[in-house]
Amino acid sequence: MTVVDMRSTAEAFKSDPYPFYAELREAGPVHQVITSDDEFELSWLVVGHEAVRHALNHPALSKDWYGSGRFPEAMATAANSNMLESDPPHHTRLRRLVAREFTARRMEAMRPRVQQITDELLDGMAARPERGADLIKALAFPLPMTVICELLGVPDLDRDRFRHWSNEVVAPTPGVLDNNAHQQLSSYLDELIEAKAKAPGEDLLSALIRTRDEDGDSLSHDELIGMAFLLLVAGHETTVNLISNGIRALLAHPGQLAELRADYDGLLDGAVEEMLRYDGPVQNATFRYAREDVEIGGTVIPAGATVLVSLAAADHDPARFAEPDTFDIHRAPKGHLAFGHGLHFCIGAPLARMEGRIAVRGLLERFPDLAADPAGGLPQWLPGSLMRGVSRLPVRW
């Protein structure tokens, strides 16, 4: 099998990865690829929709990087004690405990507050005399960050410091190995949970500290840190890119934007699903590690291999979606994999959808002449293979 060196097309790939994925899919659903100069970055990339669904739920593809033996020099922190980095039965236990509190009712009860936060941020934008802003700084970041902090009960979080930690976790700066980001975030959350245990509130983190299942099982201190880490980071990073990628897609397709403006009630939900499919916030799922030889899409991935599962490639597979490279808010919304699939399906998907719908409608209603700022320069794409999005989104109105 030919190894595909994706480093040679790095810049073009960042701006538009979908033609590259299409070429790979035409040759087969699974490929061995080089994504960086790091010795661990020789990976197996899964790109076909059915193959991706299979890989996402395959029991022999482990999410436990620490137990994989691939990184003998790496030190796990308490933040790594989370659902995303674990396998059954440990994952099953963690998810069961958090699902008891991370309920649809709790999420739905937040709707008025999400709307209020959105309205306040839009008020701030409207008050700007220059009639322009970086949409990520003005709305796409502070909205989900405020929501998840209030949900968890995180008081007075230093947003700039946390944004740095979070960025280094999900989209590390190229050439910079910030080993302190995980440790600093773990230490912060350690202190937060100690404080919550002494003075609990009505927030989700206090509820997780108190929760017990029928057998009396509960989350350990390190597991609470890991859960808080996962919910804080995943609870805002993906929604930042959902909002910003979605608005970029709408501004690039004025006909679709006009149709949405004319019928929010009928089209908004489907439009958000199409934003998730067309240019979703997570390009590739976090790495998996083959515990044994695994056959995916007719290709045998050897034991010990690192596997990268491409949600973005799956959601542009013509075998699943007609004219997949066309942005169409009328498309039937079922079947995309933007939130994953199987036992690691995003537990926060209902909250992300709610925030996306409220943010997009509020922004478009408040600024009927919203447009990309031509003076904003070229997009600055997020580094790394995990997230799909830009670090700035200059707009004007």
Predicted confidence (pLDDT) per residue in 175-206, tens digit: 555 557 778 888 888 888 998 889 899 888 89
Average of pLDDT values for 113-125?
Answer: 98
**Higher pLDDT, residue 164 or 257:** 257
Across 292-321, average pLDDT: 96
pLDDT tens, 280-294?
A: 999 999 999 999 999
SS3 280: coil
Q: Is 0.85 surpassed by the pTM of this model?
A: yes
Q: What is the pLDDT of residue 334?
A: 78
CATH number, domain containing residue 274? 1.10.630.10
Does the structure show a pLDDT above 90 at 66? Answer: no
Segment among 100-109, 164-173, 176-185, 332-341 with least mean pLDDT: 176-185
**pLDDT tens per residue across span 347-376:** 999 999 999 999 999 999 999 999 999 998
Q: Please give the Cα distance from 333 to 304 (Å, whole number).
A: 36
Express as a percent the part of the chain with pLDDT over 90. Answer: 59
DSSP H/E element including 379: none
How would you class 373 by CB atoms within 10 Å of its CB: exposed for 0-12, middle for 13-18, buried for 19 or more? Answer: middle
- Residue in this structure with the two tokens 């989370």, named with its chain if needed: 82
User: If we measure between CA atoms, which residue out of 206, 190, 199 comes closest to residue 106?
Assistant: 206
Query: What per-residue confidence (pLDDT) applies to 234?
Result: 84
| Token code pair at residue 170 | 């999900």
* 47-56, 202-211, 280-289: segment of lowest average pLDDT: 202-211
* Residue with the two structure tokens 């939130």: 339
Position 36 confidence tier, pLDDT thresholds 50, 70, 90 = low
Give the Cβ contact number of residue 128 at 10 Å. 11
Q: Which of 209-213, 264-268, 273-277, 294-298 has the lowest mean pLDDT?
A: 209-213
CA dist 360 and 345 (Å) reads 24
Structurally, the chain folds into a number of domains equal to 1
- 315-350 pLDDT, tens digit per residue, is 999 999 999 999 999 998 778 999 999 999 999 999
- How far apart (Å, rounded) are the C-alpha atoms in residues 384 and 45? 15
- 367 is in which domain, residue-wise? 3-396
Segment 144-155 mean pLDDT: 87
Please say whether the beta carbons of 51 and 309 come within 8 A.
Answer: no
Task: Give pLDDT, residue 311.
Answer: 98
- Name which residue leads in pLDDT, 306 or 35: 306
Distance CA(100)–CA(68), nearest Å, equals 30
Q: How confident is the model at residue 8 (pLDDT cuts 50, 70, 90)?
A: low
* Tokens (6 digits) for 200: 């609990």
The residue whose two tokens read 């030919």 is 2
Write the DSSP symbol of residue 384: S
Per-residue pLDDT, 72:
67
Closest alpha carbon to 355 in 286, 281, 285, 283: 281
Report for 14-23, 96-105, 161-170: range of highest mean pLDDT:
14-23
Average pLDDT, the chain: 89
